[in-house]
Structures are given as C-alpha cells and as structure tokens.
Structure 1
C-alpha cells in the first residue's frame, strides 16, 4: 500500500508540474514572457505562487527546466559510448536516434506546443541568452569529458565546439524549414542524410580521435 501511495503521489506531482508548465508556456506565447507574472501563472494553473516556485526555481525555469538536460546530450553520448566507438560516431549515433524518434529537442516534432516553446524563446532576449549559456555549458561538459580521456584540453575544446556547432546547425535547419511551412514528415525524410553529411565532414577532420579503448 505504501508503494502504491508513493506512486500516486509521484503521478500527481508530475501532473501538477506539467499543468504549471503548459499554463506558463501558453501565457508566455499569448502575452509575452515579460508581461506575465508568476502569480498569474499560479492563478491560471490553480496552484499557489509558492507551489510554482517549489516545482520551478525561477520564471526562466518555467521554460527551460523540462529541457535543460538536453543541452548535455552530446556529452552523455560520448561518456556512455561503447568501446571502439569514436566521439564523433557516438554523437552521430545519438543524433540519428533522436531524428528517428522525432525528438522535440532536435526540432522534429509536429505537436504545436513544442513549436510554441521555441517561439517564446526566440521572442525573448533574456531567454535567448539563457539558451546560449546552457548550450555553452553543454559544450564545456563535452570538452571536459574529451580532455579527461585524451589528456589534450586544447584539442578537446576544438572537437567539442565543432560537434556542438554541427548539432546546433542541423537542429536550426529543422526549425528553419518548419517555420517556412514544411511538414515535419517532409523535414524528417532527409534529416538523417543531412546529419550523415555533417558528421562525415567532422569525422574526416577528427580521423581516429577519441576512440574509446
């Protein structure tokens, strides 16, 4: 019974967090990030202001908290790669898996809510700055992982910056085409081919780099 009660509490907590999140994004999209107060979000989500801050530490976190882990995707791919797999191939493999799964974090999701989040960020300078900072943190994590493995911090920074830039460029291309009116299926149809071309180019320059022993 205790386990069942805990499971019920956890489900309710997740449902509350999701309700607050969706309410916040809807209000930000309608009125603009700066024009919406946390109290207004709390009122619309039918929770207290304190509850909002219990789930989301700041107003910016109402946008970024559910997605912030994805800025470390490339670092995780490299950290968890199999023996014999290079850093480039690990990041490539992970990205292709996300393309196949139509992961929102790589810009391939047709659900309007996912598109709305990007619109809110793109229209808000402070959120754009936060996105840049989080991206740089992810690149630094990747560089630290590579430096730890190879012992060469300079080359690790170069490799991490290159891999991060390639991922960002591919994701931005997905968004650009969707913003231009193309359907998700149409963009996804050649996404894997574009990704292979991008990572092939990097692999040529980092030939044999950071192959896990």
Structure 2
C-alpha cells in the first residue's frame, strides 16, 4: 500500500543530493566559492563529477538550489489569499510575517551559518548574477498569479509583479547587508518593519487600482461586444 512516503530509490537520491550539497557548502564557506572546483566537491561527497552534474547542472546550483522554492513564493501567497483580499495586502502581510519569523529570505537572520552563506552569495559575482534569474522567475510567476486571480490585464500584471518583487528584493538585500556588516537581527527588526511598511505604502499609492475584481479561483466574466 502506498503510504505517501518516497520509495527506497527516491530516498537514496535525496540523501545523495543532500550529501553533495552539504559537502559543497562546507568547502565553499571554508575556502571561498571561487577557490573550490567542482571536482573537489565531487571528491568530498564521494561521487563522480558526472553524478554531481546530474543533480546540480552548474556550480552555482550547489548553493542556490536551497533558495529555489522561494522563486514562486509570492505567487503562492497571492493564490492562497482570502477571498476579497487584495494581492498587494496579502504580499505585505506575508513579508511582515516572515520578518517576525526571522526567515533568512528576508535578510533578517543572524545565525552564523546563515550570515556566512549570505556573505558568500553577496560577494560572489556569479552567484549574485544567478540570483537575478530567480528574481525574473519570481516576476513571471507573480504576474501569472495576478492574471489568474485578480483578473488583471497582462501588461498591468507584469508591471505590478516587477514592482512588488523588486521591493521585496531591495528590502531583503538591505537587511542582509546590514547584518553582514555586524548589525544584530533583533536590533534591525524595527527598522526592517518600518522600511517594509514604507515600501508597501508607496506601492499601494501607485497600485491602488490593483484590486480583486472577482473571487480568487472563479473564471472572469467576459463582456461581449454587440
């Protein structure tokens, strides 16, 4: 009987993937991302380079795969919002909640391992460049969610998504930089909240027409020209 748990083969693949990733992060943090080769990672994880590339197509993926799930996070928030709630308000509440929880994606987490990983990403041009790919993916996903749940025209959806995602990234980057420079997360929290409130107020003033025209999940009614 299928109990919903992954099978033996899948569990073995998950363990191999985790072992490769853990070995990579350990080496990168100890020696620097640019000074560690893929061959060294494969050797530390006791796998072949071919096996490593089967799990992680690029060297950058060894680090950034841990952030991949966040690419569609805002789109999921917009789709899951309460009926009648505006998408911008839903995203704002989500960001504020993540700040309270000290979610690393907000940049407001000063655990030593998180700080070291954040510094490495910020200081590596290739990792920072790949992060822009996540940002573009987040914009596409959010734009689609806005089209599907707020009955928003395509151009409006893309413009709104670009603004919302950019605000989220700027806020997170500012927090991460402050913590990387030595500020404590608890000391930064009030300022991070104030910055987020300010940013979403600005967005709200510019995106006040981005309101739900129908209940999420229902098909929009199309007017027919006579």
Shared fold (TM-score, shorter chain, > 0.5): yes
| Unaligned segments of structure 1, at least 5 residues | none
| Unaligned segments of structure 2, at least 5 residues | 216-226
Contact 1:81 1:90 in 2 (8 A): yes
**Matched residue SS, 1:144:** helix
Deviations 1:166-193 (CA, angstroms, capped at 9, x unpaired): 1112111211211221111111244223
Contact 2:119 2:180 in 1 (8 A): no
Instruction: Looking at secondary structure, tell me which structure has more helix per residue.
Output: 1
Query: 1:94: how far off?
Result: 1.3
Contact 1:71 1:138 in 2 (8 A): yes
Q: Who is 1:22 aligned against?
A: 22
Distance 2:96 2:131 in 1: 22
User: Quick check: 47-56 or 59-68, which moved more?
Assistant: 47-56
Q: Who is 2:118 aligned against?
A: 118
User: Where do 4+ consecutive residues of structure 1 move more than 3 Å?
Assistant: 5-19, 29-32, 46-51
Distance 1:72 1:155 in 2: 19
Aligned length: 213
Residues 1:164 and 1:184: Cα distance change in structure 2 (over 3 Å): same
**Matched residue SS, 1:66:** helix
Distance 1:10 1:183 in 2: 40
Query: 1:19: how far off?
Result: 3.6
Distance 1:155 1:107 in 2: 29
Contact 1:146 1:210 in 2 (8 A): no
Q: Who is 1:206 aligned against?
A: 207
Deviations 1:53-99 (CA, angstroms, capped at 9, x unpaired): 34333322101111112122211111221111111111111111211
1:152-171, aligned counterparts within 5 Å? 152-171=153-172
Distance 2:79 2:37 in 1: 40
Q: CA RMSD in A?
A: 2.7
1:118-137, aligned counterparts within 5 Å? 118-137=118-137
**Matched residue SS, 1:182:** coil
Structure 1 length normalisation: TM-score? 0.85
Q: Who is 1:188 aligned against?
A: 189
Distance 1:142 1:6 in 2: 30
Distance 2:52 2:193 in 1: 39
Q: Who is 2:88 aligned against?
A: 88
